[in-house]
Amino acid sequence: MTTLVSWNVNGIRAIGRNGFLDWLEREKPDVLCVQETKANTGDVPTEIRLPKGYGSVWQQAKKKGYSGVATYFRSKLEPISVQTMGIPEFDDEGRVQLVEYKDYTLINAYYPNSQAERARIEYKLRFCRAMLTLCQNLRKAGKNVIVCGDYNIAHKDIDLARPKDNRDSPGFYPEECASMDDFVGAGYVDAFRHFTPDPGHYTWWSYRTRAREKNIGWRIDYHCVNAEFVPRLKKAAIHADVLGSDHCPVSVAVK
């Protein structure tokens, strides 16, 4: 069994000062994908960049202190290769890593925030379309696909505590939900929902108004897999008790 964890850490250096290494040592995921690292690799302390027992690969944004993703892996799971999307407008923001293994390609993705008043909605939708094309091309080449990360989309009403109040909010715009519909409709399965159909499960809470304490949250962090890979999924979980970021880790176990 292989455990794959995804976590938007909202600043790798900040979370490094808030128990990240203790959590990693305790949980020992086989592969950990983190998003929103907000750091150039050279600015990350060695103990965070290369924790005991792990290697790591980093994709940073051109803009210092912005966006960025990284993937940690135990020595037994060193990737065959690691690539970016190959699309400059997304790669320049450090949004994606394609981490290739024998049985699947793990995509570590930090989807754009569409922002208030739809300021970046077109950029977000281009990213979503590009991601779908990327996944479909991998499938056509005979690859299984696991897309993990912060999608910045609450797909359905069940995926946020107050859907009626947020229909015109970034992350729940109808266009974004429709893009997720397109993704699922093309043959991809939301791993958490495959196992857990009930409401009340969230992965992000605003720092304002004690939202996490009240569990007034959004589920915007996912693992999605191509339908053919679903029999390999053994469980999926949200680790809402893990603090240190405004997001919590999410995980899947695959065989």
Active-site annotation, residues: 150
The size of the chain, in residues, is: 255
Nearest partner of 120 among 170, 181, 85, 154, judged by Cα: 170
- Give me Rg for the CA atoms of the chain: 17
Rounded distance between C-alpha atoms, residue 111 and residue 141, angstroms: 24
What's the burial of 252, exposed, middle or buried (CB within 10 Å: 0-12/13-18/19+)? buried
Alpha carbons within 13 A on the beta-carbon side of 92: 4
